[in-house]
Structure 1
Amino acid sequence: MTLDHTRPLFIRLLLLAFIVLVPPVGLLAHGALGEFARGLVPEMDKKAETVGRDLASSIERAIGYGIPLDKLQGMDEFFAPVLAANREIRYLAVTDRDNRILFINGAMPELLTPYFSVTDFEGGGSRKSLIGDFVNLAQPLMSKGVVVGHVQVGLDQDYVQSRLMEIAVDIGVMTLCSLLVSVEILLFIVTFNVIGPIRAVSTVMDRVRRGDFGYTCGVISDDEVGRFVHGFNGAIRHVDGLFRRLEAYMDEIKTAHFDKTVVGRVMDIEARVRFLFRFSRTGQPEVINEHQATDIRLPLFLFVFAEEMSRSFMPLFIRDLYTPSTGLDQEMAIALPIAVFMFFIAAVSPSAAMISARKGSRRVFLIGLLPATVGFFMSGLADNVFDLTLWRSLTAIGYALVTMACQSYIAQAAQRESRAQGLGVYVGAVLTASICGTGIGGVLAERVGYRATFVLAAALSVVAGLLIYRLMDAAQPKAEPLSPRKREFLALLRNWRFFALVTFAAIPSKIALTGFFFFLVPLTLLQTPGYDLGDIARIMMMYPISVVLLSPLAARLADKMGWKAGLVAVGGLIGGFGLLLPVLSGDFNVLGVSIALLGVSHGLSASPQLAIIPDICWTECRNMGQTNVLAFLRLAERVGSVIGPFLAAAFIPIYGISGAVIALGAVVLGMSVVFALLSFAYGSGPHIEAELAE
């Protein structure tokens, strides 16, 4: 069975959007980058010359007070802020008349001395020369009209290329995000305005084929498809009107005609018509609205997009809010809002699912948007860690209500045999929103700041609410949820296979997600030289991309090979190994590979974790319902989501940020090894009942 029936359409729309969007963007970017490169080099020279003159002016003023050039003090501290503020300047140095280096910051003297000793810097004004990998601009130092030395400003020759590469990557990321957003919008338009109405027409036509004229299609659009449906509904109403006229005529004959033979024949005709055809008793055909899982996809995408916008910078934002007066260590203070957010999602989700089933998804979605939107907006105005924790908990309550409302809507809109396809709609929307939100959120935070990004997230959630209010049927059918008893949950935990799956597979994966990916990755990358917010967002995008690419393959392998426990075990081992990769390679610049491996891990294990439940919990699924067993699995694994940030924060004071990554990886890998060993005893198929019968 196909996991998501919208996947073929999604791929076609993706190809269409790619053809329409990418070539013109590529051509424009190529031309713009060429112009940028031609204009940047002279601007860099002007900037270096200006910096050299400013530094030379300050040094000349000191010399003018009678301080010898080689006796100046604090030159490293004098150069440091200039280098920090200008990434393209690699070093600053002062040389005497014989080109001997007196002071230097940013490069080793041994590297430049051979070049300075053979270079002629004499002459008026600045002198530009190529020295190894640097472009050197020498600004003369004057004392009483005599050159006593030079200020040397060294530019990185590769800076222009590196900047062009960064801009190209930014353009690529934004193009990818724009592509996915465009496809989501196109997919929604096509399914809501074309596929949905046509499916409704198909349903009504099938009834008409069987002689049932008591239904029409509920379509409100006025486009070509809408006009076709209105015409189709008009034909059904016309037939209904003809039936009413025929019925009135037959009633008139039965009432007024004196010949009983004629009356009998009319009654026979009436009985035959009523046997072959069915019409609405009220004279007003009932309206059929075709509910689809894809109806909810775009609002869900926008809402998750809004939440994921803060993913790449949340720990950095919390760190900026931190003050020692909070009474917490900095690491614990950073972990607190993240862990509390996860805790409230776990605590509210079960109740949210029951409320959605009883009250209707549309109402619960709109109710959940209120705390979520307020939480987004107020998070941007938070003054301290505790303020942010409060507003993030409010956001978490809204997030739980909204996501549970979406899952409930999908479960009710999809037929029983297509529940897996509906799940694919939900997972697809969440993953594409994660890719786009992480990438665009990091770029926005770098350009407009953390707080403005939260405000934009609040605006996006409002747009999602408007879509739900405008497009979702208020009279959506409700369903009473099954409420298992506590003893049934305890029986579920007594199933050692389920307990092992939760404890040694599901929980470690969430520890790695929240402790490593959400908490440690932004902190680690920001302290790595050369990384800024945009770089962090781009690198963090590797996780959802890996999950998107691997999840369909893992689902197929699980169905075809039946090796579900093995895939879960392999995924856990890959994730633990990925976290230990920096120490194994001796280079923390491979953290991006660790993130990708974590995505591979979760992509391989997420679908098999769900697919294995009917095999290892056959009796429990029969007694409690498979949906409730899966819901309990998701609830239990969120224990790892809460533990992860606190565990990482506890490791930082002991081992440092880099060591915390390794320690967390050791925990995840150790628990995954335990599950891998236990998985050999899982077997295959619904075997629990057979064991209980022994």
Structure 2
Amino acid sequence: MRRLEARSLRDRLAAMVIAIAVAMAIAAGGWRVLDAAWAESAPGLDGATRLGAEAVGRALSGQIEHALALGIPLDKLVRVEDYLKSVVASAPQVDAVALLDEAGRPIFTTREGVAGLTFPVNGGGQRATLVLSTESPFLNAATVRLEILLGATALLGGMIAFLIASLFLEMHLAPARARLALALARAARGDFAVAIPTTGRGRTTAAFRALARRIEPVHVAARHIADGIATVRAIDFDGSLSKRLDPLLATVAATRGLADIDPGETPRSTVPSPAAIATRVLLLVSLYAGAWPLLANFAIDRGTDMIPAPWRPVTPLFAEAVAVVLGMLICRSIAPSASRVAAALGTALTALAFTAVFWCRSYDLFVALRAAAGLGLGVALTPLLRDPRLTAHPRGLVALIGLTGLVIGPLFGGLVAEAIGRRGTFALLGIALLAIAPRAAAMPAAAAGDTALRLNFPAQAGRLLQLLSLMTLAALVLVIVPSGPGFDNYAVGAGLIVAAGLGLVVAPATLPPVFAGLLVGVAGALWLSAAGAVLPEAWRWPVSSMLIGIGVGSLLKWQAAGLFRHGRSAIAGLALGAVVAPVATIPGFAAMSIMLPLGVLLAGVSMLARGRRNP
């Protein structure tokens, strides 16, 4: 057991090393490109900034000269400092302004130590100097933003690399090593009847081939034995030879079937591995979630006058959730032999619905397209999630879906939207979904329907706890963040969703459920008016998002075993979350303050559900 744990730890460390290397490579390459762009564009932009600042300085010095020409003493000018501050605020090329007397002493200044362009001021026999400190409105702000986006891109690349490496090492390489160890152990006991796969590449496959070559002489000997046995039995008319032969054959009875085995020609299995199933699920979820930072923004812009702006995202999200449930019901009634085709068609329908948003101009059409996307997702995802090997480790699956659906997908969508806009992002995600449609096809698998509803009260409380947890997560990710700080800044919205996703991934399942619910309540309490002095708004968003992610993640992992058995209840929770998200805005509170009553409900229900903890 210790050897297996050490090997798993080595695999994870190897995945981390690969992820860090990929992230550093992306960061280094992007930094070199950014540095080269800075060096090439800085002279021209600095020249444009200087010309703009000179125009502001000449206009400002002319106004001061006019005032001095009227006979007003320099130190008696009224409200000059306030006027200079308004100039700095309105002119992006100007960082600070100072007015100096003839001796160089500051009379009026917007900050200490102003240096830069100087403009002489002469009027009414008085002399002064106007000093402007310049600031490039293009380079400084844009460069900081590009650096943040570059860091987010490096983080995204590293997480994708970690996910791919982990899936390969833990779900492909580790089972291959286990098969090789089993074959060697059986061979050591004299049992060579194990069919060893020799297709593929790499060190493991090479070891399989080497083992097959060593077993080949045993197969040849087995064929000779089989031929000899057939000859003896053909001439054994009275059975006397068989009586002598059977005791001799008893020692090699376990390898008697070797004559029918042809090493090196073992056909590749047609059953997909857990790694293949998990890859299809996570790829589909991540691409679908790439649109989450954009949905509320797009719905509000396309909105109708019949629906208030805070509630406009609700209708397409609710229609989408209902369509997902309908897709799950349709998939449940499909024969297992047709589930592969249904999954491919569902993925294609989702892809076409995403791509069609590029030409969408009306709110009604957007609602219809989101419903079509949800229907396709329900049909495509249900057969995959019902694979018993995939749901054998529900807590790990919750973390993986959280990583792809709340971190990788939204971060990718937000970065792409910053580069090519909302419509282009929907089209790109649709094309990517269409490209994976053949790979997203589910293999036929026997899977039972949803578990029957239990009648004991703790079981009902557990279902309610899952519902409330997903409501909280959906309200934050689908409505509050995209229609709030992420409305005009897709990267910021994606970053806040990522904060919640990382909180969900790292949340421990051992966290007391009552405390996890209170974390959500604390995130809502941060948005009450009295909390404004404790934590600035710029920090409240990431802190509250992280708290919600940790609290909801711990609760979902605590109830993970039942989460995938009640798919329709999970989708209902997401739909209700979108509905309740704008409720706090009706009495005038901040939208995030809805988390306070939700957190109290989560804490109360978790106390009722603690008697039924899923393993």
* TM-score grouping bracket, smaller chain normalisation: 0.7 to 0.9
Are the counterparts in 2 of residues 361 and 408 from structure 1 also a CA contact under 8 Å? no
Matched with 1:276 is 254
1:636 aligns with 2:608: no
Matched with 2:48 is 47
Matched with 1:312 is 293
Amino acid corresponding to residue 469 of structure 2 in structure 1: S
Are the counterparts in 2 of residues 217 and 233 from structure 1 also a CA contact under 8 Å? yes
Deviations 1:456-512 (A, max 9, x none): 22233345445457xx9x6x6x3252676xxx52xx2x4322333444x33332232
In structure 2, C-alpha distance between the alignment counterparts of 1:170 and 1:132, rounded to whole Å: 31
Q: How many angstroms does 1:94 deviate by? A: 8.8
Answer with 20-29 or 181-190: which moved more: 20-29
The alignment covers a number of residue pairs equal to 576
Q: Tell me: CA distance 1:646–1:433, structure 2 relative to 1, closer, same or farther (3 Å).
A: closer
In structure 2, C-alpha distance between the alignment counterparts of 1:363 and 1:218, rounded to whole Å: 28
Matched with 1:118 is 100
Are the counterparts in 1 of residues 98 and 130 from structure 2 also a CA contact under 8 Å? no
Q: How many angstroms does 1:116 deviate by? A: 5.4
Matched with 1:604 is 554
Deviations 1:418-437 (A, max 9, x none): x22x6515632541453122
Are the counterparts in 2 of residues 138 and 152 from structure 1 also a CA contact under 8 Å? yes
Are the counterparts in 1 of residues 46 and 136 from structure 2 also a CA contact under 8 Å? no
Q: Tell me: CA distance 1:258–1:541, structure 2 relative to 1, closer, same or farther (3 Å).
A: closer
1:424 aligns with 2:396: yes
| Counterpart among 560, 564, 574 of residue 519 in structure 2 | 574
Query: 1:389-408 residue pairs with structure 2 within 5 A?
Result: 389-408=367-386
In structure 2, C-alpha distance between the alignment counterparts of 1:539 and 1:193, rounded to whole Å: 33
Matched with 1:479 is 446
Q: Tell me: CA distance 1:585–1:138, structure 2 relative to 1, closer, same or farther (3 Å).
A: farther
Q: How many angstroms does 1:542 deviate by? A: 0.7
1:97 aligns with 2:65: yes
Q: How many angstroms does 1:353 deviate by? A: 6.0
Matched with 1:125 is none
Matched with 1:660 is 591
Deviations 1:619-641 (A, max 9, x none): xxxxxxxxxx5546553343332
In structure 1, C-alpha distance between the alignment counterparts of 2:137 and 2:115, rounded to whole Å: 10
Query: 1:194-205 residue pairs with structure 2 within 5 A?
Result: 194-205=173-184
SS of equivalent to 2:526: helix
Amino acid corresponding to residue 14 of structure 2 in structure 1: L
Q: Tell me: CA distance 1:21–1:156, structure 2 relative to 1, closer, same or farther (3 Å).
A: same
Are the counterparts in 1 of residues 223 and 259 from structure 2 also a CA contact under 8 Å? no
Amino acid corresponding to residue 306 of structure 1 in structure 2: L
Deviations 1:557-594 (A, max 9, x none): 26xxxxxxxx2222122112202312242243322211
In structure 1, C-alpha distance between the alignment counterparts of 2:7 and 2:328, rounded to whole Å: 27
Matched with 1:386 is 364
SS of equivalent to 1:217: coil
In structure 1, C-alpha distance between the alignment counterparts of 2:61 and 2:358, rounded to whole Å: 43
Q: How many angstroms does 1:455 deviate by? A: 2.4
Amino acid corresponding to residue 227 of structure 2 in structure 1: A
Q: Tell me: CA distance 1:278–1:311, structure 2 relative to 1, closer, same or farther (3 Å).
A: farther
SS of equivalent to 1:380: helix
Q: Tell me: CA distance 1:382–1:219, structure 2 relative to 1, closer, same or farther (3 Å).
A: farther
1:450 aligns with 2:422: yes
Q: How many angstroms does 1:525 deviate by? A: 0.7
Answer with 190-199 or 575-584: which moved more: 190-199
Matched with 1:549 is 506
In structure 2, C-alpha distance between the alignment counterparts of 1:523 and 1:225, rounded to whole Å: 51
Q: How many angstroms does 1:394 deviate by? A: 2.2
Q: Tell me: CA distance 1:651–1:380, structure 2 relative to 1, closer, same or farther (3 Å).
A: farther
Matched with 1:513 is 473
Deviations 1:86-135 (A, max 9, x none): xxxxxx999453476599567399xx9x9555379xxxxxxxx9953888
Are the counterparts in 1 of residues 290 and 412 from structure 2 also a CA contact under 8 Å? yes
Once superposed, what is the RMSD of the aligned Cα atoms?
4.6
Q: Please report the TM-score for the alignment, with normalisation by the length of structure 2.
A: 0.77
SS of equivalent to 1:372: helix
Q: Tell me: CA distance 1:331–1:206, structure 2 relative to 1, closer, same or farther (3 Å).
A: same
Q: Percent identity?
A: 15
Q: Tell me: CA distance 1:10–1:509, structure 2 relative to 1, closer, same or farther (3 Å).
A: farther
In structure 2, C-alpha distance between the alignment counterparts of 1:646 and 1:425, rounded to whole Å: 27
Are the counterparts in 1 of residues 399 and 505 from structure 2 also a CA contact under 8 Å? no
Query: 1:283-322 residue pairs with structure 2 within 5 A?
Result: 289=269, 292-322=273-303
In structure 1, C-alpha distance between the alignment counterparts of 2:347 and 2:283, rounded to whole Å: 12
Are the counterparts in 1 of residues 360 and 366 from structure 2 also a CA contact under 8 Å? yes
Q: How many angstroms does 1:544 deviate by? A: 0.8
Matched with 1:14 is 15
Q: How many angstroms does 1:598 deviate by? A: 0.8
Deviations 1:315-352 (A, max 9, x none): 1122232354xx43333332211222223334433654
Query: 1:152-551 residue pairs with structure 2 within 5 A?
Result: 163-190=142-169, 194-205=173-184, 208=187, 213-218=192-197, 220-233=199-212, 239-256=218-235, 261-262=240-241, 264-270=243-249, 272=250, 275-279=253-257, 289=269, 292-324=273-305, 327-349=306-328, 352=331, 358-359=336-337, 365-409=343-387, 411-412=388-389, 419-420=392-393, 424-425=396-397, 427-432=399-404, 434-467=406-439, 478-481=445-448, 489=453, 492=454, 494-503=455-464, 505-526=465-486, 532-550=489-507
SS of equivalent to 2:100: coil
| Counterpart among 580, 592, 613 of residue 647 in structure 1 | 580
Q: How many angstroms does 1:543 deviate by? A: 0.8
Are the counterparts in 2 of residues 95 and 102 from structure 1 also a CA contact under 8 Å? no
SS of equivalent to 2:446: coil
